[in-house]
Structure 1
Amino acid sequence: MDENRIHDPRKVTQAFPDPNLLDFRVLRNLLCLEKTQLARRVPFCQWPQQEVTMKMMQVLSQWLLEVCEHQQCEEGVYQLCLCLLCTYMSMSPVKIRQLQRLGSVCLFLASKMRDLVPITVEKLCMYTDYSVTAQKIMTWELLVLSKLHWNLVAVVPDDFLEHILVYLQLWQWLKLIRRHAQTYIVLCTVDYSFYTYGPSVVAASSVVAAVFGLGLLPRSGTGVDLILNVAALIEADSDNLRKCQEMMEIAFANTLHGTRPL
């Protein structure tokens, strides 16, 4: 089958959302898994990295995002890729020359886990301009899997997005809010200043920022109630959620003015 056709969204049948997976019990399980995940998260300043800087991480993240967009990956692929990348780098030192190789492997694994049509090794080699060989990707795949104890299950902001949208019941604006919220989520994933926030807070803040940005609700009155209700849904502190939302809006405004990459 033609590979270009495989990655054409018009040629791939998308599954409809399963209402059984939007049950409150599923949300509670996601929140419990998130707490376990956050308990293992280490701040960047404590990573065992001597050569790799935050700026290098941002450049790599931007490159991975461009690959995902070009391959039309599912929304959760890029988010899981960054989660696997950060988890590995918080455990093992990486040299500069190995950074793109590690990013390629994490994207390869995330695509296997979350994409309808996983990215092939050959495609990844092409995107690195063949500076990373197929053999290196396959070798490092086993290395990353071993370091992560073969545990590739991770909660990402996209997992919470549909739960929050259904809870708000803003049906007439659902697609519009979802599209804008996903833009905010991508912005947060690239920007490591949001690394301290959990996936549920990032998802909830992106929805609130989208609602306010689209002018669907005022920032006072019902807008305040929106923040309180969403915070209660994900069992988060409303002030923390509001702070994350405000950071998103500032980051998005800076992106529009060209002062930072998206």
Structure 2
Amino acid sequence: MRKIIERIKIPLTIVGTVLITTILTFILFFLLFSTGELFGFYEFTDNLLFLLFLLALCWSLSTIPLVFLFSRFVSQTYRIKFKIYSFILSTFPIAAVVIRIYYSLSRLSFYHGSFIEGTKVLTPTGTKLIENLKVGDQIIGYESEVNRNVISNVQKNRTRTTEDYYLINNALGVTSEHPLAIRRTNGLLDWKRVRELSLGEKIISYDMGDVEIYSLEKRKIQSPLYVYNPQVSYPNNYFIIVGNTAILAHNKH
């Protein structure tokens, strides 16, 4: 009976350790990913990055005494292997943080275009600050297939920070990757990233008129600035207020 208990004890201890580590790792994964999804925040500040690494490191180091504690129940033959496997498993939380950071950086390549705080968006009832947009809010967009303005719904409002942006016509602050609707030489609508724009080009306005770019300045700032990128339903665009008119912007989805 004693031999049977000894044989069962080893795999049970190993399986138990694996299960506990796996469960804790999945919890950490869930917290890391759900936080980004809930708040639409995909860029880590230095402080948050430091805290995440500190959390993962403490989490992993806390498993060391547990490994030594559980190893007492493992026979001498399997003790070294048990410790090695356990230490490998203890690195899972750090791996979770690294993967989460990679995920955030990869998402930033898709959601890099954004407008600075204080930008106004055209809605059916007037205007609304871009930072105040909520899921379900209605905004005005343009459907090119039928050549008319339509109502779209906000599906998500992504937030991040930036240390530089472009100022167009001394009124519109937008990051370099955001596409704006411009008028091609043949008169047709086209999308162009802000960093590719040049003086004299024409941005399409609310009434399908043209707003000429007479000022285009890239600005660098000392402290990070919050920028916003609302994701909207079809036709995936919306109008941004610039001075006394509104220009058409893509939702960079």
Same fold (TM over 0.5): no
TM-score, normalised with respect to structure 2:
0.20
Between Structure 1 and Structure 2, which shows a larger proportion of strand residues?
2
Q: Which has the larger radius of gyration?
A: 2
State the TM-score, normalized to the length of structure 1.
0.19
